[in-house]
Amino acid sequence: MPLVKRFFAEIVGTFWLVFAGCGSAVIAAVYSTGDSVPFNLGLGFLGVSFAFGLTVLTMAYAIGHISGCHLNPAVTLGLVAGGRFKAIDAIPYIIAQVIGGIAAAFTLYAIASGKEGFELGGFATNGYDALSPGKYDMISCFIAEAVLTCFFLFIIMGATDRRAPAGFAPIAIGLGLTLIHMVGIPITNLSVNPARSTGPAIVVGATALAQLWLFWSAPILGGIVGGLSYRLLFEPEA
């Protein structure tokens, strides 16, 4: 597949991940019963976890055959480390993912801000210390993001291994991301994806933007370790 087609597929896929995943938190998870809302739409942590998992599952079937459906710089670099992706294509993929994430965040903001009484708040940003939902410190958040991304790459590498059952990889990867969110949302509001973190951080600015470094460095470290570990431990001998 030509790189330009894969580039635009990654933009579209990452847009969907950030728009629908973060949108579930910004729009649906904040509602509760009350005079302004006649029934309970509050998704909570569990609902948001499934929303992110479903974005990857649906896009994996939609564009997996086009670009591989990375949607995530940590996944792209992890697959490079795992020997599944050409290093020369990594930078275009990462640029596409960041473009998609930023476009989605601003589109979501344009919609959400149209509601009367809208307050920007955290806007699904990731953070540590005061910005952590559970008020976890920087070290705890770094470890969590690195470890969870590492296992996400393990799931991706294993599910897409040619020895694995064919056709089920999107389900395993989507449910894997769901489980990872169940663990990580209370800690950092979960990133494991620098492109997912960048868009909302730019919209919010200030401290969220200042803490963005962690949500690039920790997932990329974890992704590389996960991809490389699977390659060394479980790839068949040449």
* pLDDT per residue as tens, the chain (238 positions): 899 999 999 999 999 999 999 999 999 875 544 444 444 456 788 999 999 999 999 999 999 999 999 999 999 999 999 999 999 999 999 999 999 999 999 999 999 999 988 889 999 999 999 999 999 999 999 999 999 999 999 999 999 999 999 899 999 999 999 999 999 999 999 999 999 999 999 999 999 999 999 999 999 999 999 999 999 999 887 6
Please give the CATH number for the structural domain made up of 3-234: 1.20.1080.10
pLDDT at 29: 73
| The two three-digit tokens of residue 17, written as one number | 């991940």
Rg, the chain, Cα only: 17
33 CB-near residues (< 8 Å, 6+ apart): 39, 40
Phi, psi (deg, nearest 5) at residue 116: -60, 135
pTM of structure: 0.94
